[in-house]
Amino acid sequence: MKNKVKYADLKDIDEKMYNWSIGLLRSVINRLKVNVKLHTNQRALNGDIFLCNHFSRFETLIPQFLIYEETGAYCCAIASGEFFTENNILAKYLNNMGVIPHDHPHLFSNLAQQIFQGRKVIIFPEGGMIKDHRVFDKHGNYSIYSRIAGERRKQHTGAAVLAQGIEAFKATIRNAYSNKDYVQLNQWQKELKLDSLDQLLTTAIKPTLIVPTNITFYPIRSSENFLLKGVELFADGLTKRQTEELLVEGSILLKDTDMDVRMGNPIDPYDVWHWWNHYVLSLVSSEFKSIDDVFSLYSSPKNWKQKLLGHYFRKNAKATRNQYMQDIYANLTINLSHLASTLIMYCMQCGQRQINKHCFYKTLYLAIKLLQKNKNVNLHRSLLNPDEYNDLIEGKSKRFIHFICLAESSELISSDHVSYHFLSKLCEEFDFDSIRMENLIAVYNNEAEPIDEVLDAVIEAYRQCTQVTDKQLADLSLNDEIMSLTWDKTLFSRSQYDDINKKETANESAEPFLLKPKIVTGKGVLLIHGLLASPAELRQYAEKLANQNYTVLGIRLKGHGTSPYDLRERTYEEWYESVERGIKIMRAYCDTIAVIGFSTGGSLALKLAAENSDKIIAVVAVAVPMKYVDKYFSLIPLLHGSNQLVNWASPIPIEGVVSFIENDPEHKTINYKNVPVKSLFELRRLTSNLNSLFPKITIPALLIYGDEDPVVHAESADIIMDNLGSNIKELIWIHSDQHGLLLKNIGGIWNSINQFLQKLEK
């Protein structure tokens, strides 16, 4: 009786307080290090009951916030009844925010009323936090550890019960409408606080949809944070549970962490109903006079028909529960730590206590490439953007290094020069409140376990590890280069970049390409395009070379073929890394490789020749800029410095004095029309770097210049020729008043290069 009195005065949502709270939460999120990203669609947002897995306290606030931001709809939620034991400020606040105690005698009817009013309901069907992410029992069935019960139990069916009850009541409304029982309909309209009968009937026609939602944190850390230190100053002592939560969840909030909230396909609870369920409901629905009558089927049915329907409700609720829990876990956002943890635990289960480092790197890389083909697995953006993982196969990935450092500091693995060793702690059982601090590998593995495709991909990649050829890896690397273009193009196609992008005229494909000859000779050419262009600039020449039995790779320099805004973000070191990846791909196919670069690509080719002379046999550099015809270029460092100074001094991000200079390109379908000042500055940096490298170039070198080049000063040729360390070096002048010599084969430049390469082959 005490509970009924205590909970009798539930209030409606205080919209003013709700809006204020959303604003406060928005401000807090913007100041925290956690990066919240919502993955959803309109169909999911039209759902009614949103179900989320539960790993930290902070995430209980996020779904309401995201749904409100996307739809403007208010959300109700369920909280432990302990928060409502006293009529204090917290209880009143929660009440005004639409939070209902879990043990309220009219819990379901109150939530149903909110849904009829167009609001959403947030439920965490696991109940408490699942710190170990262990959602399978030893037999592979869904179950979780309950701190309250002290044992494993099934996830709750409450959401399914709520949805079924609402659907049953909607059927009752539709039945009353068919029977023209307007007295009853008007009564329900008033009880549900709806504006009209039309609103009541419209809601009754709409299916009650359950939206399974997964919240994934990456990375999970357990290092000390100042939140813990601050609390310790004012507390005599913290319990193990309090310390663990401050360490792990404080690190989630205060250090760079991705929080991916992924909403799956909505579930209609009617999907698990059979025709006889509907038949029994039709017999009983006329007996329901209120929503409470529907939900009383579970506890106090009035006759055999209601008892039978209640039996079906319970059975169907379990089926729906199984479906939405499976979907919640399947919507996990898979990251590199999941793959590494899955591989480690798989090896342990196979009795393998160590793994060769190179095999580990290669297996993870191959698993990523396999999973990229699987549309049923949701990959974290770091596994879709090759920039994030393309150095993984060499063990240099920052995310992988972070994972290994965490595993070693937790004494889960150790390493020597050759191998990683798996320590016995990996298999130890840990208390529910300590596993996140002691064994995050087990936590990551548990989280990924419901997705069979992850383990399958890891096992297959491990099998392939010793069999994959260099050419196969090269093909995967080329695929990464193409994916990188798509990623960058998508990123810099957002509306915020329209001011420059809409002025651009380049429309030819910027994809890197690999052309293989009909007759394989082992000879290869790496082509490097110029500033503002793309591989399309050299495609025709590449086809000519392929017809001469060369394997040809046209590599794309980062920042090109996408948007001038993308190029503005890149350094010349990133351009050079593109070239290095290109030569690595070529080495898998060719015994001998020549590098040919145009303009800025020629500068990069010369740098490659100086630093990788053991990998290439010759370098051809066309129209390399050391000095410029336009004296304005000498002011670029000053202009770039002014931009930086303005950005530094401004309290808000601005574009500086002049961020872009409009260009009239010779080849409008290939080149950017707008030149980032930052990129010209990077070109100057590259030129300065080259001066010290020329003497280190000892392989045969060919320089080609146009005698009336409108961009590059003729003295550039003398600067390079006088300093090259090559014993074999040639300089060819072509009569031309255009800069783009290589694209148009001006002056028979293609033939001149062919003659140079053929002399070397004799």
- Three-state SS for 273-290 is CCHHHHHHHHHHHHHCCC
Residue 455's pLDDT is what?
Answer: 98
Residues 516-567 pLDDT 10s: 999 999 999 999 999 999 999 999 999 999 999 999 999 999 999 999 999 9
The fold of the 494-761 domain, in CATH, is Rossmann fold (3.40.50)
Strand, coil or helix: 716 = helix
Residues near 450 by beta carbon (within 8 Å), at least 6 away in sequence: 135, 136, 326, 329, 330, 332
Identify the pLDDT of residue 170. 92
* pLDDT band at residue 432 under the 50/70/90 scheme: confident
CA 210 to chain centroid: 25
Q: Which of 249-258, 644-653, 705-714 has the highest mean pLDDT?
A: 705-714
Counts for the chain of helices (H) and strands (E), in that order: 32, 23
pLDDT digits (tens, 9 = 90+) for 168-201: 999 999 999 998 999 999 999 999 999 999 999 9
* Cα separation, 75 vs 120, whole angstroms: 5
Query: And the tokens for 27?
Result: 């401000």
pTM of the model: 0.91
Query: Which uninterrupted H or E stretch holds 271?
Result: none
- Residue 49's SS3 state is strand
199 three-state secondary structure: helix
Q: What's residue 580's pLDDT?
A: 97
> What residues have CB less than 8 Å from 539, skipping those under 6 apart?
513, 554
d(CA 360, CA 369): 14
Confidence of residue 642 (pLDDT cuts 50, 70, 90): very low
**Contact between 605 and 597 (Cβ < 8 Å):** yes
pLDDT averaged over every residue in the chain: 90
Q: How many whole angstroms separate alpha carbon 543 and alpha carbon 541? A: 5
Lowest mean pLDDT among 190-194, 326-330, 350-354: 190-194
Whether 748 shows a pLDDT value over 50: the answer reads yes
Q: Which of 242-251, 312-321, 591-600 has the lowest mean pLDDT?
A: 242-251
Q: Does residue 140 surpass a pLDDT of 90?
A: no
- Give me the residues paired with residue 720 across strands: none
Q: Is the pLDDT of residue 637 over 90?
A: no
Domains of the chain, residue spans: 2-330, 337-468, 494-761
Q: Is the pLDDT of residue 355 over 90?
A: yes
Q: What average pLDDT does this structure show over 129-143?
A: 88
HEC per residue, 211-260: EEEEEEEECCCCCCCHHHHHHHHHCCCCCHHHHHHHHHHHHHHHCCEEEE
What pLDDT, on the 0 to 100 scale, is given for residue 1?
35
CA–CA distance, 297 with 295 (Å, rounded to integer): 5
Cis peptide upstream of residue 125 (ω within 30 degrees of 0)? no
pLDDT for the residue numbered 649: 41
What DSSP element (H or E) covers 370? helix 357-372
Stronger pLDDT, 645 or 38, i.e. the higher one: 38
CA 35/CA 261 separation, integer angstroms: 11
Say yes or no to pLDDT of 236 above 50. Answer: yes
Under 8 Å between Cβ of 734 and 528: no
Q: Are 706 and 741 in contact (CB under 8 A)?
A: yes
Residue 640 has pLDDT above 60, yes or no: no
Name 595's bridge partners: 526, 619
Split at pLDDT 50, 70, 90, the class of 4 is very low
Q: What is the pLDDT of residues 64-123, one digit of tens each?
A: 999 999 999 999 998 888 888 777 888 888 888 999 988 888 899 999 999 999 999 999
User: CA-to-CA distance for 56 and 129, rounded, in angstroms?
Assistant: 6
Note the pLDDT of residue 82.
Answer: 81
CA dihedral 190, 193, 196, 201 (to 10 degrees): -90
Q: Give strand pairing partners of 218.
A: 258
pLDDT on residue 652: 40
Residue 2 confidence (pLDDT) above 60:
no
Handedness of CA 113, 116, 120, 122 (dihedral sign): positive
